[in-house]
Amino acid sequence: MPEAAASSNILSALVRALGWLALIVGAGLALMFAAAAALVIGLMIAGAALALRFAPRQAMAGGADILDAQRTPSGWVVEAAARRKS
């Protein structure tokens, strides 16, 4: 019976070692994919920043994008373009 216990211990140690190996390989793969994803996201952000840096600037519209809000007794009134107060 001692041979059965010895082979059981050897088998248990082998399974434990294979488990640790699988855990280490899996963690390494996860870190590798995380690093690759971070690199891709970083390159995308850098590319967008570079494109925005060299993109031509648009001229300001004639005030159509300026909002004017006034408080009235019934609530707030928002107008698309400010009226002149003259």
Interval 41-60: pLDDT, tens: 999 999 999 999 998 887 65
pLDDT of residue 78 exceeding 80, the answer is yes
5-49 pLDDT, tens per residue? 778 889 999 999 999 999 999 999 999 999 999 999 999 999 999
pLDDT for residue 64: 54
Domain ranges of the chain: 2-79
pTM of the model: 0.52
Nearest-Å Rg of the Cα atoms of the chain is 34
Q: Which residues of 9-23 are buried (b: 16+ CB within 10 A; e: fewer)?
A: eeeeeeeeeeeeeee
Residues 6+ apart with CB under 8 A from 81: 63, 64, 66, 68
